[in-house]
């Protein structure tokens, strides 16, 4: 139960941070991404703050924790290289973010603020995730059949 409470608290804190930083505003994000036009550099401070916070967090964790608070051990990602799936996924993410001004985290947080404006994006995002899961399952079964 404590693990669920911690996850909900972390999600609410993350959503509040996205809201305060205006990452849930598509116009603000698109203004930041428009480096060749009417560029709004204010989200660079959000990025710098996030990178600094994560760097400090990793430093503290490495020095003071042998395991996470709610798990037996750390489970870092095993993949280390850059492959076709990573590049393709990053391209899709960037294209979507640049066209719409939303990515998954801010979109979910924005549902609480402007559900009518964001619901279509979230529905399309979920449909894309489901489509990818179906495609991946099909591709994995096809690979195993060979």
How does pLDDT run across 112-122, given as a tens digit for each residue?
A: 888 988 999 99
In terms of residue numbers, what domain contains 85?
2-145
Domain count, the chain: 1
Of the candidates 98, 104, 102, 107, the residue with the CA atom closest to the CA atom of residue 33: 98
How does pLDDT run across 20-56, given as a tens digit for each residue?
A: 999 999 999 999 999 899 899 999 999 999 999 999 9
Of the candidates 29, 22, 28, the residue with the CA atom closest to the CA atom of residue 97: 29
On whether the pTM is more than 0.85, the answer is no
Which residue has tokens 């990793």?
A: 58
| Number of other CB atoms surrounding residue 118 within 10 Å | 22
What distance separates the 2 farthest-apart alpha carbons in the chain?
A: 53
């Amino acid at each position: 139960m404590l693990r669920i409470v911690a996850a909900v608290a972390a999600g609410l804190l993350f959503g509040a941070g996205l809201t305060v930083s205006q990452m849930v505003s598509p116009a603000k994000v698109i203004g930041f991404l428009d480096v060749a036009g009417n560029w709004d550099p204010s989200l660079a401070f959000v990025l710098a703050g996030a990178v600094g916070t994560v760097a400090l967090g990793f430093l503290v964790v490495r020095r003071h924790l042998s395991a996470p608070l709610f798990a037996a051990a750390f489970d870092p990602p095993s993949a280390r290289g850059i492959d076709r799936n990573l590049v393709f996924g990053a391209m899709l993410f960037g294209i979507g973010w640049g066209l719409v001004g939303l990515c998954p985290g801010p979109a979910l947080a924005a549902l609480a603020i402007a559900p009518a404006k964001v619901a279509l994006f979230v529905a399309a995002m979920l449909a894309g995730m489901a489509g990818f899961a179906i495609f991946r399952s099909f591709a994995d079964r096809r690979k195993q059949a060979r």
